[in-house]
Structure 1
């Protein structure tokens, strides 16, 4: 486990408002844990870049809060639920962490959320996608920050159906995220008059997709929907090209993609593809300025949406502590859910179910000729309004909404 001390200087004058007698910080500091996949299948999506983003947020906040130091601790989950659970508990019990941020896979996020709920500590989920995080499995201490499977289905899925391609077959990662993404996209397809011809499940970290893609190809579906992520998506697309599916009458549609995935595959392979994100570095000037600073700290690579989410989540958590004068989780969560967020990267509100409701963006991958550099990979084809990208509260199964 790696620990970085961002500041040991007590900046009492800088935060005079927060250093009143009523200010209370457990352990006389604020300790933040970046719990993410640092070395596994999703490390390029969030990984080490998440630690950089959290450190940037602490630095931009001023290095201390309520006159006390802010410490960053990081741990590698390798996107495994058991590791995520044990590392989260270790962070809370040994390192006195007040908040964990990250969790790039659904399995690891749900495991860490459960520990956070038991210990009444804040968990800000930036990388995982499954809707149950703020639906069936919601808890009072979790915020789902960047995106979810509902947004992906109503972004990428809806855009593809709108082109007239209405028969689908899914190649799905066999765990909660894949199942949920397939389910949510299937609902969008059927609501638009389309048909799901079938699906096939594959284990996470699969290396040979030939048999799964062959089943999809033989279905005759117009769309082969990839309900997977990271290395599995990259492998699926590469092997689809080798099998001659790319460029055929069938369209391969990755339902979750990140800029890191596009860079790994190359524009020649991915040009024209649509994918949905919660943030894109080249959308506006504010995003570009943040990305430029991030790239200086991260080998010239532009931040993914979830790395930007780690920055935003960390910054707003610190703002909440400053505002309420304590790191008490209940008071911090009450503030986060009652105060609109507009930090230059994300703008929206955190609902009672813990979903951060904000606009999403449908991107279209550029051709090699259109790209100016390795980070210039896409254009924003459409802004998806927050209300359209978020499950209506009236349909929520979250106990914090239903009261049951």
Structure 2
């Protein structure tokens, strides 16, 4: 099915569905209420954290602060990477503040708990930080959309490229919770599909500050590649420790499966140079991304990560959908969002599938050497663009209950 055909059918479905909402199309409480739930103080603070709210506010500002005659209000909270804490916050937002949409949703364990609650209460969730591909696979729902990346896409880009370069034997070091488990499984699948093998595995506590024993085991395994199936400060600590042990200098490849620009800055180009990994977005892709990134830096003092860009993009698309149909009812808004292609600073020709996956191009990048870098923000070069249809799990392999041919 062509992209044009897909959008035409989506628009038709939305128009039919919306006909039933016309009589009560309205904005509840005469406000659009958004909850931003994220790790504000832990391992994901720098790449997402408090600055994610700035990205959301930029989207609100870009629609003039109101849509369909209603002001937009944002609540924010630190989930402390705890499913119980996150669920309690979302419950309070729904019961006491009548929040329409929850975004951020960073740790996969928190996200999976939150989206179940959002479905029960028919509110909308825009998942930007969580990486587990299960969010739109076995844990899909009609009440949430996964925007930035997932473990299927991140492993498909990085593990496939490294294995095809001739590095066949892998050791998998993974964070011991749902995200790390999902990434471990996806990396192993890609390695095996491309003729490689997994010679060892280990799981570390989340979060962790001491990677010495884990990396000594990985080094002793003789693997060609050590895959770091973690993110945030865990990845930074692991790469730093690997540098101290001379792992890459001895010939083993270190593969960071989820890396942010903030991580590379923290590690430094000397230690990070040559690392290849997959990104959903990078601020130096084109003139439009650079202009938006400069706006973000003027506001925050820092360049944005791919999740910050995703938060802006998904919030903007949500607000435009509400404005187009004049209601904040979750199913009506989701249908409108799915019927409308995403063309903004984050994606060109992006679209939302029936499983809730927002599909867009991804990028395999390599960290530049200190000599190649022109300035402090010149961190990566794009090795290849991974087309949208290749980047994410095909629907033919989906276990999502919303997909007609899902398992």
Same-fold call, TM cutoff 0.5: yes
The answer on whether the counterparts of 1:64 and 1:70 sit within 8 Å (CA) in structure 2 is yes
**Residue 51 (structure 1) shift:** 0.3
The answer on whether the counterparts of 1:29 and 1:68 sit within 8 Å (CA) in structure 2 is yes
The answer on whether the counterparts of 1:31 and 1:71 sit within 8 Å (CA) in structure 2 is yes
Aligned to 1:329: 330
Q: 1:189 aligns with which of 175, 188, 191?
A: 191
Aligned equivalents of 1:295 and 1:280: distance in 2?
A: 14
Aligned to 2:385: 383
Structure 2 residues not aligned, in runs of 5+:
1-21
**Residue 114 (structure 1) shift:** 1.3
Aligned to 2:7: none
Aligned equivalents of 2:272 and 2:307: distance in 1?
A: 21
The answer on whether the counterparts of 1:312 and 1:343 sit within 8 Å (CA) in structure 2 is yes
Aligned equivalents of 2:161 and 2:266: distance in 1?
A: 24
Q: Give the number of equivalent residue pairs.
A: 384
Q: 1:105 aligns with which of 94, 107, 117?
A: 107
What does residue range 176-215 of structure 1 map to in structure 2 within 5 Å? 176-215=178-217
**Residue 23 (structure 1) shift:** 4.6
Aligned equivalents of 1:121 and 1:21: distance in 2?
A: 20
Are 2:291 and 1:289 equivalent residues in the alignment?
Answer: yes
The answer on whether the counterparts of 2:309 and 2:345 sit within 8 Å (CA) in structure 1 is no
Aligned to 2:29: 27
Aligned to 2:225: 223
SS in 1 for 2:339: coil
Choose 341-350 or 378-387, whichever is displaced more.
341-350
Aligned equivalents of 1:204 and 1:374: distance in 2?
A: 30
Aligned CA-pair RMSD? 1.3
Per-residue CA deviation, residues 283-334 of structure 1 (Å, 9 max, x unaligned), is 01111011000000111x1100001000001000001101111000010011
Aligned to 1:311: 312
**Residue 25 (structure 1) shift:** 0.3
Q: 2:87 aligns with which of 72, 85, 88?
A: 85
Aligned equivalents of 2:381 and 2:87: distance in 1?
A: 38
Aligned to 2:242: 240
Structure 1's consecutive aligned runs of 4 or more residues displaced over 6 angstroms after TM superposition are: none
Per-residue CA deviation, residues 146-197 of structure 1 (Å, 9 max, x unaligned), is 0000111111111111211010001111111111111111111111111111
**TM-score of the two chains, using structure 2 as the length reference:** 0.92
Aligned to 1:11: none
Aligned equivalents of 2:79 and 2:24: distance in 1?
A: 37
What does residue range 37-116 of structure 1 map to in structure 2 within 5 Å? 37-116=39-118
The answer on whether the counterparts of 1:286 and 1:345 sit within 8 Å (CA) in structure 2 is no
Aligned equivalents of 1:49 and 1:378: distance in 2?
A: 22
**TM-score of the two chains, using structure 1 as the length reference:** 0.93
Per-residue CA deviation, residues 79-130 of structure 1 (Å, 9 max, x unaligned), is 2211111111112222221001111111111111111111110000001100
**Residue 372 (structure 1) shift:** 2.5
The answer on whether the counterparts of 1:101 and 1:124 sit within 8 Å (CA) in structure 2 is yes
Structure 1 residues not aligned, in runs of 5+:
1-19
